[in-house]
Amino acid sequence: MATHFSSSLQIIIMFLCCTVCSTDISCRNEAGEPVDWFIIYKLPRYKIGEVGSGVDYMYLDSSVWSWQMSKFMVNTSQGAIVNTLNQLYMGKAYKSNSSVYALYNDGPPILDYIQGYGHTKGVLLFDRSQGFWLSHSIPHFPSFPERGYLYPSSGKVNGQTALCVTYHYEQFLQIAKQMVYLYPRFYNCSVPAAFLADLPQLAQLCEGSKPPLASDKRVEQLFSMQGEKFVSFVKSERYVDDIYTGWVAQALDADLLVESWQRQGHELPSNCSLPKHTMNIKRIRLPGSVLFQSHYDHSKWCVSRASEDQVTCLGDLNRESAQMWRGGGLVCTFNPLIYKAFRQLVDWYIGC
């Protein structure tokens, strides 16, 4: 009797908890349920010996053991990214004075390109309790809030990645400090009056002004809702160097294999001059042995060469000389599942 009572009580509590949780601002998985973090890898249209749709993608979160091919397409109304962003689009959170949001992209949808902003793309949405930070590599994305979710055709040909992490409100105070270094182009944003005291710099960025910087780069540990550690490395345009070689490889004390968008004639070669080396990935092997060339991949990520170091970073910057003069950053994780998923994608890199 007592067991019966306690198990039905448990069910009621679980039900109440889920109802509450599902209204909390959070990264959302493929089914629309809240998750601590997820990563998607949108595959390029041109693979070796195969032409794909350009809208198919692989999905990863802590509940799956490796990359899952999504049954959805990135340009439709179902899937993790749209489920996450619909909290802004459908929930009309962009009109709310109890939540903060920012859409940023150096190349925003429709609007002209303006020089001087950081080479960084993403979305912030949070309230006094929690929210998400989605960082991604997709140009002209996401769409203006009143237009609803749209995936740009310019984001179809090349590979792209997106990392979403759910954080407590307090972590956004740190994320806001990182944003100052990134100097993102906020093309739609709102920092309501009630948040001004906590987030003065975010409000300045939202108004289009540039808050002053204490130095030229900054590193900060961030902890997700579930306590997973992420390390945010950000540099301003005043730190003139390749972020991977000059800073992150040395700071992590790890040789890095880097996948980034390198246009012919602009690429920084693999570099073994400093104690820790940075080497360019040239070809990716997807689960199931399909290969594609980095040439068709606009994503920006790196993994440690050695599994002892077990580090994976996703970010904003390419290994190209012009990007040394741009603001941008990387979010790194030591999660073994994420490391294994990315490390096994490396098919060929240029050593030195």
Ligand X SMILES: *[C@@H]1O[C@H](CO)[C@@H](O)[C@H](O)[C@H]1NC(C)=O
- Site of interaction with ligand X (CB under 6 A): 53-55, 73, 75-76, 94, 97, 111, 144-146, 156, 187-188, 193-194, 241-242, 245-246, 271, 273-274
Please give the single-letter amino acid code of residue 236. Answer: S
Nearest to 316 by CA among 173, 107, 79, 36: 107
Residues 6+ apart with CB under 8 A from 5: none
Give min distance, CB of 279 to ligand X, in A.
Answer: 12
Q: Nearer to ligand X by C-beta: 72 or 132?
A: 72
Residue 93 CA to residue 89 CA, distance in Å, equals 7
CA angle 85, 71, 227 (to 5 degrees): 50
Q: Are 65 and 100 in contact (CB under 8 A)?
A: no
Kindly state the smallest distance separating residue 220's Cβ from ligand X, in Å: 22
Q: Which amino acid is at 233?
A: F
Strand partners, 121: 105
Is 119 marked active-site? no
Q: Which residue number, 32 or 174, has a Cβ lying nearer to ligand X?
A: 32
Set 119, 136, 140, 298: catalytic member: 298
Cβ atoms of 176 and 206 closer than 8 Å: no
Q: CA-CA distance, 312 to 224, in Å (whole number)?
A: 16
Q: In the complex with ligand X, which residue's Cβ is closer, 26 or 105?
A: 105
Please name which of 325, 319, 290, 285 lies closest in space to residue 302, comparing C-alpha atoms: 319
Comparison of 34 and 184: residue with beta carbon closer to ligand X: 184
Cβ closest to ligand X, residue 69 vs residue 111: 111
**In the complex, what is the shortest distance from the CB of residue 310 to ligand X, in angstroms, rounded to a whole number?**
24
Q: Which residues are catalytic?
A: 298
